[in-house]
Structure 1
Amino acid sequence: MLRSVVALCALLLFGAAPAQALVQRAYVSALTGNDANTATNCPATAPCRWFAGAISVVTPGGEIVAMDSGAYGTVTITKSISIVSAPGAYAGITVFSGNGVTIASAGLTVVLRGLTINSLGGDYGIAVTAGAALSVENCVVSNFSLTSGAGLYVNAPAEVAVVKTLFRGNYDGVRFSGGAKAQISDSQFLRNTVSGVLVDSSAGATEVSAERVVSSGNGSSGFVASATAGSASLAIKSALASENGSHGIGGSASASGAVAVNVSKSLSTANGLTGVFASGDGARVVVSSSTITRNAAYGLYQASSAVFMSTGDNRVSDNAVGPSSGTISSLTPM
């Protein structure tokens, strides 16, 4: 009885114990990690096991570091954070269902660096339906091949950067919609079921630029912008689109949508139908300083009231059916 009275007096006098302070950096380890170490904030000397456990102890704007090679589990990100692998470590996320990384909270800034995200039945490697900014750096995202799946799916007005990342064997390599603004550089999109890079608008304005990128061996198109409403824009520079099942690069739009595709200093070759195409009332495609060659049908293809403009410095040759089809307008380079 006396002890209870003393404890009650102490609680009233000093208040409850303070909450555990969050840390700027937490560590995970496949070799020695244990999520019970969240009690001590997952330091390098006592790391956590899974990304999902470590995220609870990190302050917004902090980071989780994968110390050694192994699988670290799927994660839903609810705060601004960086998740990175140590140099030389394989930091894997295997996805049996759902998403590898889910970002669905407004205002977040997220960095993913050095991760390998692989599907064994998952929907999306990285799915963004809310958030402010995402940077995907030096990652590999593969085998998200279920119908309508994607290696990276963004349906939010977020700023996105994709740098030195490989998307392989997905339904779509990357798919942007919902007003996303994305920059892609030094990345590869290989053997995806439908498209390597898809910009798809049904509302708002979605904008993507891609520079020094390769999109090859995809089932339909290497790079494509499409809009049924709103607008989709795609700017491509110093890119390779090759051996895709139908088209290297293109844009299509209905009368209520608007698509703008600009291609410069790029190569579109050995695709199953066309090198570059434009289709639909709302589509506008401009090609400059590029080489369009050895495609199975036409080099340049215009249809259904689309606007297709080509500058005089393009090289269009050795396409099986002919250099062009439809109305291709000449545009004088500036």
Structure 2
Amino acid sequence: MIHVMKRAVLIAVATFTATMLYSVQASAQATRTWISGVGDDANPCSRTAPCKTFQGALPKTAGGGEINCLDPGGFGGVTITKSISIICDNTEAGILVAATNAIIINGSGVVVQISGLDIEGLGQTGVAGVNGIYFLNGASLTVRNTKIRGFRNGNGITFTPSANAALVVDNVVISESGIASDGTTGGIQVTPQAGIAVQATLTNVKIVDNLNVGLRIDTQAGAGTMAAVTVKNSQFSNDGSGIAVRSIAGAPATLMLTDSVVSGNGTTGIFSKGAASVACVGNSTITGNNAALTIGSGGSIFTYGDNRLDGNTADTAFTLPVIAKH
């Protein structure tokens, strides 16, 4: 009898152990996962059994891991709350949304990289998307090799972190975005929350055909807020205003613009207003705008003396003096 009881206990323990091992294996997260236009989110997101959507792959991907796209597809919007890379440079990887955000990033300390996406907000319909990418919280966001368009209820990228953070945008096109009635939205909005410091770097970026503002740098949330934005080899054309820099006292908002084109904007090329708003421009062309530059109370727009400023309806001048070149 005792022997039989011991055997039953051993069987029960073995069964329990096997069940636990299966459960751990089933819930294991991979450092690299895969999605496909013909995948299924019930799959483990492996190379041979890919998932269907970014949101479906996210919980099966380890923090700091990477989601890749096997083939073309529309992979749906996603809310990111952990460090992750979404890399789909070698195929057509789309996100199409109506009346919502395409990508939300909201996780303490997260590091997110996005590359190779086509993000569509249906701007020509009555249910246009809100933001292409909406960054609320995290340590950094990098966006590369991506097209964002049609977000008529917000911005292409809204970067409004609640903790100090960095933004990198490289080889990105943003178009047809911005709310017709508000005057502030459009391409990229860098608007840190009160007391937060951010740095942003934009290279090889085209922000064209947006309502209101191509790039808005705004620290009016409160004293102690800071935004420093560097832009190189980029284009701001056919927007309401090309670039706007806004601040209040004690909240510096700075722009360094080099090797770029600001053209064909309906209101102004570059706008700077506020006690701590400073724009510095070098080796850039400002042409075909209604006003080349608009300098409001407290604002400054300095030149390195090597810009081309002509062909605007009003060829307004830079703030003096010219910055010395070193």
Q: Which amino acid aligns with 1:129?
A: L
Percent of residue pairs bearing the same amino acid type: 31
Identify the residue that residue 74 of structure 1 maps to in structure 2: 77
User: What's the CA shift for 1:5?
Assistant: 9.3
* Residue of structure 2 equivalent to 1:264: 258
Note the C-alpha offset of 1:256. 4.5
In the alignment, is the contact (CA less than 8 A) between 2:169 and 2:202 conserved in 1?
no
CA 1:96–1:203 in structure 2 vs 1: closer, same or farther (change >3 Å)?
same
Q: Does residue 323 of structure 2 align to residue 331 of structure 1?
A: yes
1:97 CA displacement: 4.5
1:92 to 66, 90, 94: 94
CA distance in 1, matches of 2:214, 2:250: 24
Q: TM-score, normalised by structure 2?
A: 0.78
Residue number in structure 2 paired with 1:225: 217
- Deviation at residue 259 of structure 1 after TM alignment: 2.0
Contact 2:119 2:147 in 1 (8 A): yes
Q: Which amino acid aligns with 1:235?
A: T
Q: CA deviation at 1:260?
A: 1.8
Q: Is residue 2:301 matched to residue 1:314?
A: no
- Deviations along 1:209-228, one digit per CA (max 9) or x if unpaired, are 32333333332233332221
Pairs within 5 Å for 1:276-291: 276-291=270-285
Decide which of 28, 35, 48 is 2:41's aligned counterpart: 35
Instruction: State the SS of the aligned residue for 1:139.
Output: strand
From 146, 150, 158, the counterpart of 2:155: 150
Task: State the partner residue of 2:238.
Answer: 243
8 Å CA contact 1:302–1:328 kept in 2: the answer is no
| CA contact 2:218–2:246 (8 Å) conserved in 1 | yes
Letter paired with 2:139: A
Q: CA deviation at 1:208?
A: 1.9
Given that 1:250 and 1:285 are in contact with CA atoms closer than 8 Å, whether structure 2 keeps it comes out as no
Per the alignment, residue 302 of structure 1 pairs with: 295
| Distance in 1 (alpha carbons) for counterparts of 2:271 and 2:99 | 36
Q: Distance in 2 between matches of 1:6 and 1:193?
A: 74
Q: Report the CA distance shift for 1:70/1:242 in structure 2 as closer, same or farther (over 3 A).
A: closer
Code of the residue aligned with 1:163 in structure 2: it is: D
Asked if 1:50 is matched to 2:21, the reply is no
- Take 2:132 and 2:233, find their aligned partners in 1: how far apart are those partners? 26
Normalised TM-score (structure 1): 0.77
What corresponds to 1:119 in structure 2?
121
The amino acid across from 2:173 in the alignment is: L
Uncovered stretches (5+) of structure 1, i.e. residues with no partner: 173-191
Distance of 1:324 and 1:105 partners within structure 2: 43
**Partner residue, 1:10:** 11
2:229 aligned partner? 234
Query: Per-residue deviation at 1:304?
Result: 1.2
Alpha-carbon spacing, 1:91–1:11, altered in 2? closer, same or farther (3 Å):
farther
Q: 1:237 to 1:45 in 2, by over 3 A?
A: closer
Residue deviations 1:172-213, cap 9 Å, x none? 8xxxxxxxxxxxxxxxxxxx9843233224432222232333
The answer to which structure has the higher strand fraction is: 1
8 Å CA contact 2:149–2:177 kept in 1: the answer is yes
Task: Please state whether the residue corresponding to 1:99 is helix, strand or coil.
Answer: coil
8 Å Cα contact 1:237/1:264 also seen in 2? yes
- Count of aligned positions: 304
Contact 1:170 1:193 (8 Å CA) reproduced? no
Contact 1:68 1:86 in 2 (8 A): no
For the aligned residue pairs, the C-alpha RMSD in angstroms reads 3.2
Match of 1:62? 65
**Would the alpha carbon gap of residues 197 and 286 (structure 1) be closer, same or farther in structure 2, given more than 3 Å must change?**
same
1:107–1:43: structure 2 CA closer, same or farther, 3 Å change rule? same
Structure 1: how far apart are the matches of 2:247 and 2:88? Answer: 41
Identify the residue that residue 209 of structure 1 maps to in structure 2.
201
